């Protein structure tokens, strides 16, 4: 059995036929067919069903396929590890980012303006052009699940509470109070002092989507205050929440703003208390650490950039 035979098998299944697989592999179709037939003879089992319009794996082939993929992934891991030690960093890194995290970087108006994920990724890619970085935005709940399944190497997630999720290592990057952003004409805006969460009862609220850390922190604070939140509008970034509040559509709950940013956005803010919800953003990765060398290198860069040990 040879690795190239496993590679051909995976390609034929993924492409649904020998011709397309041969084109993908830049090989002649008869050569691909011959190698897979040789593999079938060696195993004593038919791996592919060639009777239909497209080639599909037999029951045995479907059972063999995960092992073939694992063997190819292991070889790729060996290559990438060796290249990493040689100073030639290549490979792929899958990074997740919670909705709204892009709004906490420089120029966002957040009190956590030092958080600049995009800048770190750009600098890392410039130094290691052989590393492909995929960046996806999703909810914290989905990304934590993806980290556990190995579908993501790293993620920037929002945390609703203080306990770390199971199976995931986290380091806080941002930890700021949450505020109520109000239109200047709102009666609650007249008092600049702290605002009890209970005062949000029966008020239309503007927040991030469910599954994000900020939404979870809001819901948790309301539950502790005995208030059922009435979220009338949802948006994906804190600055947009503030703009909706400025137009009188409701009370936006978002991370603390700088005074200048509140003025530019047209809102007045009051810190929420009793309880005091906080906006927490964390860098997260699987408990055992990222598997791929490129991901480990990016994690080290991110921890350095965010002042984490």
pLDDT digits (tens, 9 = 90+) for 182-201: 999 999 999 999 999 999 99
- Mean per-residue pLDDT for 265-283? 94
Quote the CA–CA distance of 229 and 231 in Å, as a whole number.
6
Structure tokens at 139: 């909810």
Token pair for 244: 């909706």
Enclosing H/E stretch for 65: helix 59-85
Q: Write phi, then psi, for 87 (nearest 5 degrees).
A: 90, 5
Look up residue 209 and give its DSSP letter. P
The answer to whether the 91-173+281-305 and 176-279 domains have the same CATH topology is yes
Return the pLDDT at 85.
Answer: 62
Res. 103: pLDDT tops 50: no
Task: Enter the CATH code of domain 3-85.
Answer: 1.10.10.10
Q: Are the beta carbons of 102 and 96 closer than 8 angstroms?
A: no
**232 vs 307, more confident:** 232
Question: Does the pLDDT value for residue 108 go beyond 70?
Answer: no
Bridging pattern class, strands 278-286 and 168-182: antiparallel
Which of the four pLDDT bands, split at 50, 70 and 90, describes residue 107? very low
Return the domain boundaries, the chain.
3-85, 91-173+281-305, 176-279
Question: Which of the following CATH numbers is that of domain 91-173+281-305: 3.40.50.9100, 3.10.129.10, 3.10.310.30, 3.40.190.10?
Answer: 3.40.190.10
pTM across the whole model: 0.65
- Which one is the CATH code of 176-279: 3.40.1050.10, 3.40.190.10, 3.40.190.290, 3.90.700.10? 3.40.190.10
SS3 306: coil
Residue 105 clears pLDDT 70, i.e. is over it? no
> pLDDT-based confidence at 252, cuts 50/70/90?
very high
């Amino acid at each position: 059995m040879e690795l190239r035979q496993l590679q051909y098998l995976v390609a034929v299944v993924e492409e649904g036929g020998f011709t397309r697989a041969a084109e993908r592999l830049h090989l002649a179709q008869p050569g691909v067919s011959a190698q897979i037939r040789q593999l079938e003879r060696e195993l004593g089992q038919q791996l592919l069903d060639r009777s239909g319009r497209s080639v599909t794996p037999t029951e045995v082939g479907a059972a063999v396929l995960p092992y073939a993929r694992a063997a190819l992934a292991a070889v790729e891991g060996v290559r990438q590890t060796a290249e990493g030690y040689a100073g030639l960093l290549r490979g792929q890194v899958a990074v997740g980012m919670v909705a709204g995290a892009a709004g906490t970087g420089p120029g966002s108006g957040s009190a956590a303006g030092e958080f600049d994920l995009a800048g770190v990724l750009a600098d890392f890619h410039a130094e290691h052009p052989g590393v492909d970085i995929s960046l996806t935005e999703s909810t914290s709940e989905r990304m934590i699940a993806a980290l556990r399944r190995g579908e993501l190497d790293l993620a920037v997630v929002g945390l609703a509470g203080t306990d770390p999720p199971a199976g995931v290592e986290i380091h806080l990057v941002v930890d700021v109070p949450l505020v109520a952003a109000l239109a200047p004409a709102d009666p609650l805006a007249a008092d600049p002092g702290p605002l009890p969460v209970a005062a949000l009862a029966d008020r239309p609220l503007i927040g991030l989507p469910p599954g994000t850390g900020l939404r979870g922190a809001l819901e948790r604070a309301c539950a502790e205050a005995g208030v059922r939140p009435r979220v009338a509008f949802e948006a994906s970034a804190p600055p947009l929440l503030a703009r909706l509040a400025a137009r009188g559509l409701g009370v936006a709950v978002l991370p603390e703003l700088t005074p200048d940013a509140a003025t530019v956005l047209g809102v007045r803010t009051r810190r929420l208390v009793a309880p005091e919800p906080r906006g927490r953003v964390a860098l997260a990765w699987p408990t055992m650490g990222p598997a791929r060398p490129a991901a480990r290198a990016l994690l080290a860069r991110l921890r350095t950039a965010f002042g984490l040990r």
